[in-house]
Each structure stands twice: as C-alpha cells, then as structure tokens.
Amino acid sequence: MDCHSPDQGLMPASFKVRTVPLDGDDTAMEEILDPDFGEAAIGRVAPVDSGLWWIILLRAYGKCSGDLSVQERIDVQTGIKMILRLCLADGFDMFPTLLVTDGSCMIDRRMGIHGHPLEIQEYYWIDMRKLNEIYRYKTEEYSFDAVNKFNIYPDQISPWLAEWMPNKGGYLIGNLQPAHMDFRFFSLGNLWSVVSSLATVDQSHAILDLIDAKWSDLVADMPFKICYPALEGKEWQIITGCDPKNTPWSYHNGGAWPTLLWQLTVACIKMNRPEIAERAVKIAEKRISKDKWPEYYDTKRARFIGKQARLYQTWSIAGYLVAKLLLNNPSAANILINEEDSELINAFSCAISSSPRRKRGPKSSQKTYIV
C-alpha cells in the first residue's frame, strides 16, 4: 500500500502461490504463499470483510464438528481480538465502526458507502411508520430529549422510497454521517442482521416481508440484488466516477449475485419461513446451470449475464448447492445462526452502565436496560 502498512487484524483477501529455490539448495524448489492485503487489487481495495467471514466460518466449524480446540488456541484468540479491535475501533465519527475507504466490503468499488464495512447501521430502521415520522421531523433540535437526535432532514426522503416502501415490511438503511442518510436497501447487511440477531424478531420478519413484497425488484429473474436501487445519471457519474463496471443495474450497482442465495436461505430458515427461499431457489435453477454459473447478472430484472462476469464461479455454485442442502435439512443452518444470549446482554448492560462514557448528561432516577 505504498507508504502505509496494513493494520493488525486485517486478513489477506487471497494468496498467490510462488515457487522459489529452497534455502541452501538451488536444485530444490519449494512453494510459498504471498498474502495480498489489497496491494494487487483493482483500486488497491483493502479486504476488510475477510476477517469477519473468517470468524463466522470458525464458529460454524466448531458447532458442526464439536472441535473447539482450534478456536481456543492462543494465536487464534489473538487473531479474533485483533480483528474486533480493528472493526470496533473508536473513530473520529464517534461510532464503533471501522472507517474504511469506499469499496472495502463485499461491494468493492466506489458506491458511496464510505466508512461502514457492514453496509448498514443499527440506528436506522425504516418502515412506513418511521418514514411518516421522518416526514414530520423538526430539525436543529438541542437537548438530550431531542426526537430527531441525528438531525435528519425530511427532504432527504427520496421520491423513489416514498413510492417503493410497502405498507408491511422494513429494513435497516445505511448512513454516511449524522444528517446524511443512505436509503438504499443493502442485501448482505440486512440478511446478516436477521441471521445474527442484530435485528429484533419483529424487524427480522419485516425484512423478509419487504423481500416478499418487493420480489419483482429484489429477485425478479435471478436472486439476489446486492443493493436497490441502482445509482443512475449524474448520481452514478459523481459517486462512482463514471465507473464502466458499475453502470446502472450491473455488478455492485444493482446487479444480482447468486451467491446471496444461501444467505437468504439461512435467514428464512431462522425465521421459519423457508417457502421464501424455496421460491428463490426454483427461479435460480431454471437457468443458472445453463448460464454456466456466472458471478453476477445485469439489468433491472437480472435478465442478462453480467457483461464482465466470470463463469463457473465457485461461490455461485456453492450458493445454490448450500441453499438446496439447507432446505432439505434445515437444522444444519444452526451452525450459522446466532440467537440472542440473555447472559451476554446482561453482562453488556452492566459493563455499559459502569462505563464513565455513559455518565454524561442529566441524571435519571430510573435504571436503563439494553433490550
């Protein structure tokens, strides 16, 4: 990364196998691994999401095999701490999210989601009721009791959103900073908020309700849209820099990614609504094999194979196969699902209530609890 070194906790996006002479013996060769921390990537994108996926995989392996020896190793525990320290570091924006360059999550090109690798923020839940509240927000409010605590301006509600939001359903939206909302629907963050219990039970059902209600937009001819809607016109030109790969409804700008199929399936199984995933799988299997398992699909209804999509992609094949296997054996999804842990919630509640950071502001005679 030229004059910078990767922080501890950043994991390689990939490895290149190199053959070099063995030390002390020029006639013998050995293979070594060269890790790529983004130095060789297009746009020098740092692989921020690699460490988070590794933790999910590590937990799934332990639950599936019963072998906890790997995750209990000192070096592995140290690695987990480094990743979490990197991702939960306090930043100048005062929120516990890693500030990264735009494009350092699964969406790895400029798409206007600078600073938030998980693509969503838990502060911002949107449904029709919340939109009505925002529409009537007062702005520039002082005091600890301000209703509009992040100073959101009602005029930020996009015309497309007012028409698109169904009466039943909702989702977690992104934000760039206080008073700057990003109302796009990001699939990966919302699906994992269901799987990991970051969303409440009601919110989790509402996310699936929204997917069901907006099926023609989010699934259409091939599941699943990575985000909705696409950036178009001047917005596309300014935010993406006229990126020819991220043209409207292509690649990460509203393209459809079959690998998201298994993650949709896990979320549906957790909420005991497998019929939604079954419907998506049936749509995918009509053509994905004939199309030679492409990386992604283009156009608003995902009718075309992506113009630069690679074929026979492992994660596209795996997304379909895992979805099928999980629907045949739903209990297998338990290795990926996180349920709310009451003991952890109580522990965090005690830790937060004793933190000096929480002692600012007016005193209250009532105790507060995390719900």
In the chain, domain spans: 1-98, 119-343
The predicted model gives 324-341 an average pLDDT of 93
pLDDT score of 14: 81
* More reliable by pLDDT, 119 or 180: 180
pLDDT score of 355: 61
* Structure confidence at residue 257 as a pLDDT band (50, 70, 90): very high
Residue whose structure tokens are 């690998």: 259
The residue count of the chain comes to 371
* More reliable by pLDDT, 76 or 26: 76
pLDDT score of 1: 46
Instruction: Look at residues 130, 218, 232 and name the one whose alpha carbon lies nearest to residue 173.
Output: 130
Residue whose structure tokens are 């996926």: 53
Q: pLDDT at residue 316 above 80?
A: yes
The model carries a pTM of 0.85
Q: What is the bridge-based pairing of β-strands 297-298 and 304-305? A: antiparallel
pLDDT in tens, 347-367: 777 776 766 554 445 555 455
pLDDT score of 99: 57
pLDDT in tens, 41-88: 777 777 777 888 899 999 999 999 999 999 999 999 999 998 888 777
Angle at 259 between CA 255 and CA 261, to 5 degrees: 95
The predicted model gives 238-254 an average pLDDT of 93
| Alpha carbons 271 and 194: distance in angstroms, whole number | 8
* Structure confidence at residue 120 as a pLDDT band (50, 70, 90): low
pLDDT score of 225: 97
| Alpha carbons 76 and 82: distance in angstroms, whole number | 10
Q: pLDDT at residue 229 above 60?
A: yes
pLDDT score of 117: 60
* More reliable by pLDDT, 158 or 88: 158
What own/partner pairs with CB < 8 Å and gap ≥ 24 does 248-252 have?
A: 249/298, 249/299, 249/300, 250/296, 250/298, 250/299, 250/306, 250/307, 251/109, 251/296, 251/298, 251/306, 251/308, 252/106, 252/107, 252/108, 252/109, 252/111, 252/226, 252/227
Q: Torsions phi, psi of 126, nearest 5? A: -125, 130
Is there a cis peptide before residue 6, judged by omega within 30 degrees of 0? Answer: no
Scanning the chain, the segments in alpha helix (DSSP H) are 49-65, 69-72, 74-87, 128-135, 159-164, 187-195, 201-213, 215-218, 233-240, 260-270, 274-284, 314-328, 342-353
Residue whose structure tokens are 């019929």: 275
pLDDT score of 22: 84
Instruction: Look at residues 249, 346, 233 and name the one whose alpha carbon lies nearest to residue 307.
Output: 249
pLDDT score of 64: 92
| Alpha carbons 354 and 352: distance in angstroms, whole number | 5
| Alpha carbons 68 and 59: distance in angstroms, whole number | 9
What value does the CA radius of gyration of the chain take, rounded to a whole number of Å?
Answer: 22
Q: pLDDT at residue 6 above 50?
A: yes
Least reliable range by pLDDT among 115-119, 167-171, 307-311: 115-119
* Structure confidence at residue 286 as a pLDDT band (50, 70, 90): very high
- For 73, 121, 127, 144, 207, the CA distances from 138, given in Å and listed in that order, are 53, 22, 19, 15, 28
Least reliable range by pLDDT among 93-97, 254-258, 347-351: 93-97
Q: Are 71 and 77 in contact (CB under 8 A)?
A: yes
